[in-house]
Amino acid sequence: MNQLNLDIATRVIDSALQKGRELELAPLCVVVLDAGGHLIAAKREDGASLLRPEIATGKAYGCLAMGFGGRELARRAQTSAPFLTALSGLTGGKVVPVPGGVLVRSSDGHLLGAVGVSGDASPKDEVCAVAGIAAVDLVADTGDAA
Amino acid sequence: MNQLNLDIATRVIDSALQKGRELELAPLCVVVLDAGGHLIAAKREDGASLLRPEIATGKAYGCLAMGFGGRELARRAQTSAPFLTALSGLTGGKVVPVPGGVLVRSSDGHLLGAVGVSGDASPKDEVCAVAGIAAVDLVADTGDAA
Amino acid sequence: MNQLNLDIATRVIDSALQKGRELELAPLCVVVLDAGGHLIAAKREDGASLLRPEIATGKAYGCLAMGFGGRELARRAQTSAPFLTALSGLTGGKVVPVPGGVLVRSSDGHLLGAVGVSGDASPKDEVCAVAGIAAVDLVADTGDAA
Amino acid sequence: MNQLNLDIATRVIDSALQKGRELELAPLCVVVLDAGGHLIAAKREDGASLLRPEIATGKAYGCLAMGFGGRELARRAQTSAPFLTALSGLTGGKVVPVPGGVLVRSSDGHLLGAVGVSGDASPKDEVCAVAGIAAVDLVADTGDAA
């Protein structure tokens, strides 16, 4: 596979949301971006607060902007705050450097896009993103070593 | 009904996209916003260009910002360009004043949200938005008299 | 009187809204700014669309920014579009150059602030702004000769 | 009740300001937003400084953006500065993460909007917001356990 498509993105989102319901998480928003950082599909569950789409998008976009998963972005936000400030400036504030942004790769490592999840605590959001990606037999890159 | 929910929004989108396939339109993006202008769900078909999500969102958002459908917004863009320029400035450029943005109302006229469609010619985009809203037995307000 | 205060601003708003109900206008938003362009008070009637506060504020702010009423601003938007574009740039898009923004002056011509109204057609919005200012025995400057 | 209206919002504001006078606080600004984050009504007392409307709005908006009261937002600003920086970027700087932003809920927990108060120390601002909400028999959610 060379790129995500709407059918796959929809299955990623529905599987991520199903995982959130299994874990009884707070209402979630799940967004899938293509490798160019552009929206393919998004869903916000009833009761999720109003900025969740922007937060989920910012998690996914930040991963694509830098080429690594949200955990690595979160580490750099801690160790290199000025760089993250610059990244915010460059992108008009679109980057959210916390877990829950996950790169989507093919089995041979090709970058296909990213998933962003927001609504509960960031590590729980990330569990749902990873579950959504696994459901379509693609590889989740959270920014931590596998 | 007092507000849209994710289940209804998803059905609106899927019905709008189905209409686009029946009419053999160009690939579309369909977005559903709640009454406060915040995303509930969105899908971009394979092959739709990269800005379609922002355009579809801008159509729907403009309708909610002003309280009337995209056709009325398009008329005002013709007759009152300075006002539309101001509207763009006020919103950070988020308003797209063309057909294809359609308000969603309950049968008793209560405002529930808006649908935006982008991908083909604006009037054809609008046909799909209207079809999506009709599929869930809600009322489409395009900005023209019914 | 040298400046508006909250009591007067509230009476301006309530009188403007009362005029709107007498004339059976669409739901309105009325904003009162002090001479520095800063909010004193605002009310948005039930059913007024979501951007009405920003539009009403933009009408009032534009008047204060330039020192004349909204009708003069509207004329300049027609005859000098590049200047209005520059004004939008300077203010981050906050100026709305249409009737319905009205300067508030004391009987001796001292500038006290501005009222902005949005919700119906701009000339009708302006009627309500003028009525609100008259209700507190101050002078409305619409940008037209009295 | 499914949503706030102008009558209720006005009573919230007037009760909050009355509390501020009882407690002899510094001049206050009180803002009420609907569930979509849009202004319903606002009042700034004489002598309150020029940015108080934006600060009060930012407190209320931040609560609605994230779905919890200002005390929880303040805690996250302490423990997760990069996330709050990102939130500021995403919203164009509209979030103010301190006490004095309070969610308004119906007795059955439905989210109706938010109140923001600014002018004195944040905890005292919050006391006024809570008093305003109590005056209309609605439930204040400050972000702390009740």
- Exposed, middle or buried: residue A18 (CB in 10 Å: 0-12, 13-18, 19+)? middle
**pLDDT reported for residue B3:** 87
Cβ-defined contact of D86 to A95 (cutoff 8 Å):
yes
Q: Is some CB atom of chain C closer than 8 A to the CB atom of D44?
A: yes
Give me the residue from D36, D41, D44 closest to C40, CB to CB: D44
Per residue in A11-35, pLDDT (tens digit) is: 999 999 999 999 999 999 999 999 9
Positive/negative CA dihedral, D126, D130, D131, D133: positive
**pLDDT reported for residue A2:** 74
DSSP state of C31: E
E strand segments, A14-143: 29-34, 39-44, 101-105, 111-118, 139-141
Tell which of B34, B76, B80, B85 to mutate to test the C interface (max C CBs under 10 Å): B85
**pLDDT reported for residue A22:** 98
Strand partners, A116: A31, A101
DSSP state of B27: P
Per-residue pLDDT band for D2 (boundaries 50, 70, 90) equals: confident
Give me the residue from D66, D82, D87 closest to A77, CB to CB: D82
Tell which of A25, A45, A51 to mutate to test the D interface (max D CBs under 10 Å): A51
pLDDT at C79 over 90: yes
* Cα(C113)–Cα(C4) distance, integer angstroms: 7
Q: Is some CB atom of chain C closer than 8 A to the CB atom of B38?
A: no
Give me the residue from C36, C42, C51 closest to D42, CB to CB: C42
Q: Which residues of C touch D29 (CB under 8 A)?
A: 39
Per-state percent for chain A, helix, strand, coil, to nearest 5: 45, 20, 35
> CB neighbours (10 Å) of residue D110?
15
Q: Are C104 and C138 a contacting pair, CB within 8 Å? A: yes
Q: Which of the other chains make 3 or more beta carbon contacts under 8 angstroms with chain C?
A: B, D
**pLDDT reported for residue B28:** 98
**pLDDT reported for residue C1:** 65
Per-state percent for chain D, helix, strand, coil, to nearest 5: 45, 20, 35
pLDDT at A63 over 90: yes
CATH 3.30.450.150 fits A6-141, yes or no: yes
**pLDDT reported for residue A35:** 97
* Cα(B86)–Cα(D79) distance, integer angstroms: 40
**Where do we find the tokens 């000769």?**
C145
* Cα(D47)–Cα(A16) distance, integer angstroms: 51
**pLDDT reported for residue A3:** 87
Q: Which of the other chains make 3 or more beta carbon contacts under 8 angstroms with chain B?
A: A, C, D
* Three-class SS state of A41: strand
Residues 85-124, chain A: which have Cβ within 8 Å of D? 85, 88, 91-98
Per residue in D52-96, pLDDT (tens digit) is: 999 999 999 999 999 999 999 999 999 998 999 999 999 999 999
> CB neighbours (10 Å) of residue D75?
14
Give me the residue from A50, A78, A88 closest to D89, CB to CB: A88
E strand segments, D14-100: 29-34, 39-44
* Cα(C61)–Cα(C48) distance, integer angstroms: 20
Q: Is some CB atom of chain D closer than 8 A to the CB atom of B35?
A: yes
* Three-class SS state of D109: coil
Phi, psi of D45 (to 5 degrees): -70, 155
Secondary element (H or E) of residue A6? helix A6-22
Positive/negative CA dihedral, C135, D34, D95, D23: positive
- Alpha-carbon gap: B87 to the closest alpha carbon of chain A (Å): 20
Q: Which residues of B touch D65 (CB under 8 A)?
A: none
Tell which of C11, C28, C33, C44 to mutate to test the D interface (max D CBs under 10 Å): C44
Residue A1 one-letter amino acid: M
The full length of chain A comes to 146
* Cα(B91)–Cα(B89) distance, integer angstroms: 5
Q: Which residues of B touch A43 (CB under 8 A)?
A: 6, 10, 40-41
pLDDT at A45 over 70: yes
**pLDDT reported for residue B24:** 98
Give me the residue from B65, B89, B92 closest to C50, CB to CB: B65
* Cα(A69)–Cα(A140) distance, integer angstroms: 9
* Contact partners, residue B54, CB within 8 Å, separation at least 6: none
Which of the residues in chain B have pLDDT under 50?
none
**pLDDT reported for residue B4:** 96
Strand partners, A41: A32, B43
Tell which of C25, C49, C57, C75 to mutate to test the B interface (max B CBs under 10 Å): C49
Using alpha carbons, select from A36, B121, C51, B52 the residue that is nearest to residue D37.
Answer: C51
List the alpha helices (DSSP H) in B23-137: 52-66, 70-79, 81-90, 122-134
Q: Is some CB atom of chain D closer than 8 A to the CB atom of A17?
A: no
Distances (CA, A) of B136 to B7, B32, B33, B59, D131: 10, 13, 15, 20, 42
Sheet with B29-34: list strands edge to edge. Answer: A139-141, A101-105, A111-118, A29-34, A39-44, B39-44, B29-34, B111-118, B101-105, B139-141
Q: Which residues of A touch D90 (CB under 8 A)?
A: 51, 54-55, 58, 93-94, 96
Q: What is the pTM of this model?
A: 0.96
E strand segments, C8-54: 29-34, 39-44
Give me the residue from D2, D37, D92 closest to B36, CB to CB: D37
**Where do we find the tokens 């009310």?**
C43
User: Chains A vs C: touching, with 3+ CB pairs under 8 Å?
Assistant: no
Secondary element (H or E) of residue D90? helix D81-90
For A54, which residue in chain B has the nearest alpha carbon?
A: B39
**Where do we find the tokens 């109706």?**
D112
For D38, which residue in chain B has the nearest alpha carbon?
A: B36
Q: How do the domains of chain C map onto residue ranges?
A: 6-141
**pLDDT reported for residue A99:** 96
Tokens, residue D140: 């204040």
Q: Is some CB atom of chain B closer than 8 A to the CB atom of A50?
A: yes
**pLDDT reported for residue A1:** 65
Q: Is some CB atom of chain B closer than 8 A to the CB atom of A46?
A: yes
Tokens, residue C115: 């009222």
Per residue in D93-134, pLDDT (tens digit) is: 999 999 999 999 999 999 999 999 999 999 999 999 999 999
pLDDT at C146 over 70: no
> CB neighbours (10 Å) of residue B71?
23
* Cα(C138)–Cα(C142) distance, integer angstroms: 13
**pLDDT reported for residue D145:** 74
DSSP state of A104: E
Phi, psi of B140 (to 5 degrees): -90, 130
Average pLDDT of the segment spanning C40-63: 98
Q: Which residues of B touch D2 (CB under 8 A)?
A: 2
Q: Are C135 and C15 a contacting pair, CB within 8 Å? A: yes
Per-residue pLDDT band for C68 (boundaries 50, 70, 90) equals: very high
Cβ-defined contact of D6 to C43 (cutoff 8 Å):
yes
ipTM: 0.96
Q: Are D121 and D63 a contacting pair, CB within 8 Å? A: no
